[in-house]
Structure 1
Amino acid sequence: MLTRARIRLDVMVDILKAAAEPSRLRILVLLSYADLTVSDLTEILNQSQPRVSRHLKLLLDADLIARYQEGSWAFFRLSDTEAAREFIDGVVARIDRTDPVTDRDLERLEGIKRRRQERAAEYFSKNAASWDQIRSLHVPDAAVEAGLKALVGDRPFQSMVDLGTGTGRLLELFSPLYRRGVGVDLSRDMLAVARANLERAEIASAQVRQGDIYAPPVERDAHDLVTIHQVLHYLEDPAAAIREAARLLRPGGRLVIADFAPHGHEFLREEHAHLRLGFADRQIAEWLAEAELDLEETRSFAPEAEAGEGLTVKLWLARDRRVAVAAEENSARREMA
């Protein structure tokens, strides 16, 4: 059951002071739809950059929003804290979208989103041929996505992190389940694609950040689901990535890995930068055990092509074992009592 966070009286006073100003309230509404830069907000609000920066600083000081760097750009987003998000969601939900000021802000925001989507589409079209070549070797994405959904189930949870998020597809796939989703990717071009896709799907509960999979810019011990989808075969040290993913999980949280089974397609190494030609179940299980995760289930999706010609997609589901350990300790205490 999802519980509501509580806020101390003095903290609530600071939050109310920060939010109770027209421009800052407009900023909160806008950030509930998309992560934005100072330039974006300056254009939408039709205010000077120093003035917008001042509003942002006050919202930052009240922990209502957060700032993150993406190359030379600084983006602003709603705070990650449950208490702040619940407060903002409650306030924003009560604002009339047909209000002339709000309506104009959202219209200008749509213009910024369209420009983002155009840039994303341009990047995607440049790389579509190589991605289609790989897709032709394995089962359709829809089959794998159905397997992922069956593996994760349909029970709602608080928080998800998608490491190496790429186009942001997994954030979109699981958006009905989580209250907060974060995608991490090192490529600014891919982040632009992911951001555009999430905005097009009107998913306000997810955001994307630039970061290294070996040191993701998200809090540890705080997430119910972490996914690594078709990323490990690009990495020099997949085991280190799995260990870092495990550190993000709260006790009992789950890690889902999707990648290829061992194969002999050398052209993927030579032409598409794959450093690993797939992974055996035993290898993944060893890395999960080293990360103190228990492998719970595996699934395979083999193509219809003749043996050796296609790529078999594998799914591995693991769980943080700390809840199991705690349950065993409690059982032992009851037996000794």
Structure 2
Amino acid sequence: MEKEILTLEEAAELFNVSVKTFIKLLKEEKVPARKIGREWRFSRKALIDWLSTGESQYYSASEADTKEYYNKVAPKWEEIRQNYYDESIKDHLLKLGILEKDKTVMDLGAGNGYISIAVAKHVKKVIAVDISEEMIKELKKNAKANGIKNIYAIESDGIDIPVEDEKVNVVCANMYLHHKEEPTLAIKEMRRVLKPGGIVFLCDFYQHKDMELKEKLHDIWLGFDTEKIKKWFLDCGFTDVKITAIKQNEKEKSKAPKAKIFALTAVKNTDF
């Protein structure tokens, strides 16, 4: 007997399209759909009949709000972000020893270049990806001011990046994943663009209850439970997942972090 209630992946299979294509359909059309918690669920009959029991266009609303917010604050972002995280994330990344002169790095949620500019002189090429056109403008401005010419910017939501499979050695994702409606899809995209044995470096907030922080930064997730995020990476085809607490400089009270931060590294599992 065929299942009547379908997951996102099963709905995409029913339509005989990729999950990426189906997500585009959700954003662009009024597909019959409901959300249970953070998960999409679909009625097989409703999909086939194309009856409107829910508007999938709501899916893109939160990320659209995020894009609008970051377009607006882009010129002031360097000052704003110092209230939430300092230089310790970049310092931690550089000490890991995963950056080499012949490597290509992808920086997801690149913003104004916090990570991209820091790593550019240590690698061959940086592909900076951000959903905000204005942030990308700030990144290019900052790169020029620092005499950096090996950063290539792409405007994308990070779920369907216009980059071929297995093109980068390291994916950096700083304060990026908590903006994604479907984090596992973002993680799968990281795996897609990584070469065999490639590494993800991700920093984000530990799970917290600071609604003010969530609302100010237009976050979707209140940080992450580290055991859950570790399982996501393992389930999405990564191995050697390691999580470390990031110790920030809290001397200046005005710049004290609102939530604790962790760093995650994971290696693309070639046997997956």
TM-score normalised over the length of structure 1: 0.53
Paired letter, 1:299: T
Aligned to 1:62: none
The aligned residue for residue 126 of structure 2 is 181
SS in structure 2 of the partner of residue 174 of structure 1: helix
Q: Give the counterpart of 2:266 among 318, 323, 332.
A: 318
Matches within 5 A, 1:79-94: none
Match of 1:10 in 2: none
Superposed counterparts of 1:37-48, under 5 Å: none
Letter in 2 for 1:265: D
For 2:209, the equivalent position in structure 1 comes to: 264
1:199 corresponds, among 136, 144, 151, to: 144
Does the alignment pair 1:151 with 2:99?
A: no
Q: Name the amino acid aligned to 1:143.
A: S
1:92-119: CA deviations, max 9, x gaps? xxxxxxxxxxxxxxxxxxxxxxxxxxxx
Q: Give distance in 1, aligned partners of 2:122 and 2:189.
A: 23
Partners of 1:187 and 1:154 in 2: how far apart? 26
- Whether 1:169 aligns to 2:111 is no
Q: Determine which of 210, 225, 244 is the counterpart of 1:280.
A: 225
User: Aligned pair in 2 of structure 1 residues 221, 167: CA closer, same or farther (>3 Å)?
Assistant: same
In structure 2, runs of 5+ residues without a counterpart are: 1-71
Amino acid at match of 2:88: A
- Matched with 1:227 is 172
Deviation at 1:283, TM superposition (A): 1.3
Write the deviation string for residues 144-167 of structure 1: whole angstroms up to 9, x where unpaired: 211111124453332111111111
| Structure 1 or 2: more helix by fraction | 1
Question: In the aligned structure 2, how far is the partner of 1:128 from the partner of 1:183?
Answer: 17
1:246 correspondence with 2:191: yes
Answer yes or no: is the 8 Å Cα contact 1:151–1:317 preserved in 2. no
**Cα–Cα, structure 1 residues 313 and 177, in superposed 2: closer, same or farther, change >3 Å?**
same
CA deviation string 1:181-229 (max 9, x = no partner)? 1111121100100111111111111111112210012121121001111
User: 1:143: Cα distance to partner?
Assistant: 1.7
Higher relative contact order (CA closer than 8 Å, sequence separation 6+)? 2
Q: Partners of 1:123 and 1:279 in 2: how far apart? A: 25
Residue pair 2:129, 2:156 contacting (<8 A) in 1 also: yes
Amino acid at match of 2:260: T
Identity of aligned residues (%): 22
> Aligned pairs, how many?
197
Query: 1:136 aligns to what?
Result: 83
1:159 and 1:223 in contact (8 A); partners too = yes
Query: Residue 115 of structure 2 aligns to which amino acid in structure 1?
Result: L
Pair 207,237 (structure 1): closer, same or farther in 2 beyond 3 Å: same
Deviation string, structure 1 residues 45-77 (Cα, Å, up to 9, x no partner): xxxxxxxxxxxxxxxxxxxxxxxxxxxxxxxxx
Gaps of 5+ in 1: 1-121, 327-337
Q: Is contact 1:285–1:295 with CA below 8 Å preserved after alignment?
A: no
TM-score, normalisation: structure 2: 0.65
Tell me how far apart the structure 1 counterparts of residues 123 and 91 of structure 2 sit (CA, whole Å): 17
SS of the residue corresponding to residue 265 of structure 2 reads strand
1:293 equivalenced with 2:238 (yes/no) = yes
Q: Aligned equivalents of 1:146 and 1:189: distance in 2?
A: 26
Indicate how the Cα distance of structure 1 residues 212 and 310 shifts in structure 2: closer, same or farther if over 3 A, else same: closer
- Amino acid paired to 1:156: K
Alpha-carbon distance change, 280 to 147 in structure 1, aligned in 2, over 3 angstroms: same
Whole-Å Cα distance in 1 between the matches of residues 156 and 237 of structure 2? 24
Aligned 8 A contact 1:229 1:257 in 2: yes
Letter in 1 for 2:142: N
Tell me the SS of whatever aligns to 2:135: helix
Please give the alpha-carbon distance, in whole angstroms, between the structure 2 residues aligned to 1:264 and 1:273: 14
Quick one: structure 1 residues 168 and 256, their matched pair in 2 at CA, closer, same or farther if it must change by over 3 Å?
A: same
